[in-house]
Amino acid sequence: MLAINFANAQEKLEKTDSSKIAVTDSIPKKKYHDIFIGVDLFNPIIGTFKDKKGFNTFLSYQINNKWHLVAEAGYEKNIFNEINWNVDVDGFTGKIGANWFITQDVENHSNGIYIGGRIAYTKYNQTVNSYPIRDLQSNELTGETGSRPKISLDAFWLEVVLGARVEIFKGFYGEMSLHPAAYLGGKKDDNIDPLVIPGYGKTNGPFNLPVFWGISYKIK
């Protein structure tokens, strides 16, 4: 009886072990939920030579292997000084959107090329230091100028994103992206179309091309 009981117990143990091996034999697929924080270096460097000065930061959360949610925030001061207009602007900008990786490094999935989109909003101050005055009847310039006080405005635009990320040393990544942008609208100063918008740039054309070039850090 003891021998029979031992044989039955041994058979049950072997079945249990084989079932455990069947369950744990396959390796579960790794889930990526990395967080990246980054800062733009392009605008601060350019700001030493131009009127446009500011900074931009971003936070990226990896939803899965391909998709990343992205939020950006920044501040910018700029001057429009052309065609008899002199305008100062300054304000904060926020953007939200996502990136989708087209290609990725096999050994490090954080490296790769991506496309994406953003919807952007800015709340800014505008001061018209001088503007040309036109004759109401002939619509010709009178040679005189006027000015308008500081006023609070806002603006919206959309961006398409094309970028790349590569690890430069442990945990730190180089970021480069182009953001073709299309102005949607916003609050105006007495129906005067904005000439320059923080985060967007000059509005003398249907599109603009903001650039992000900086560094990011991956938080495990």
Note the pLDDT tens digit of each residue in 137-186: 777 777 788 889 999 999 999 999 999 999 999 999 999 999 999 999 99
pLDDT at 70: 97
Question: What is the model's pLDDT at position 206?
Answer: 78
Number of H helices, E strands in the chain: 2, 12
Q: What is the 3-state secondary structure (H, E, C) of 19-79?
A: HHHHHHCCCCCCCCCCEEEEEECHHHHHCCCCCCEEEEEEEEEECCCCEEEEEEEEEEEEE
Nearest to 198 by CA among 98, 79, 83: 79
Alpha carbons within 13 angstroms on the beta-carbon side of residue 126 total 25
Cβ neighbours for 48, distance < 8 A, ≥ 6 positions apart = none
Predicted local distance difference test score (pLDDT) of residue 11: 54
- With a cut of 50, say whether residue 22 has pLDDT above it: no
Check if the beta carbon of residue 128 is closer than 8 Å to that of residue 147.
yes
Percentage of residues in the chain having pLDDT higher than 70: 85
If pLDDT is split at 50, 70 and 90, which confidence band does 87 have?
A: very high
User: Which amino acid does the sequence have at 37?
Assistant: I
The rounded distance, in Å, linking the Cα atoms of 33 and 107 is 16
The more confident residue out of 192 and 27 is 192
Query: In which residue are the tokens 């500081």 written?
Result: 150
Task: Return the top range by mean pLDDT from 66-80, 136-150, 205-219.
Answer: 66-80
Contact 89, 77 (CB under 8 A): yes
* pTM for the structure as a whole: 0.80
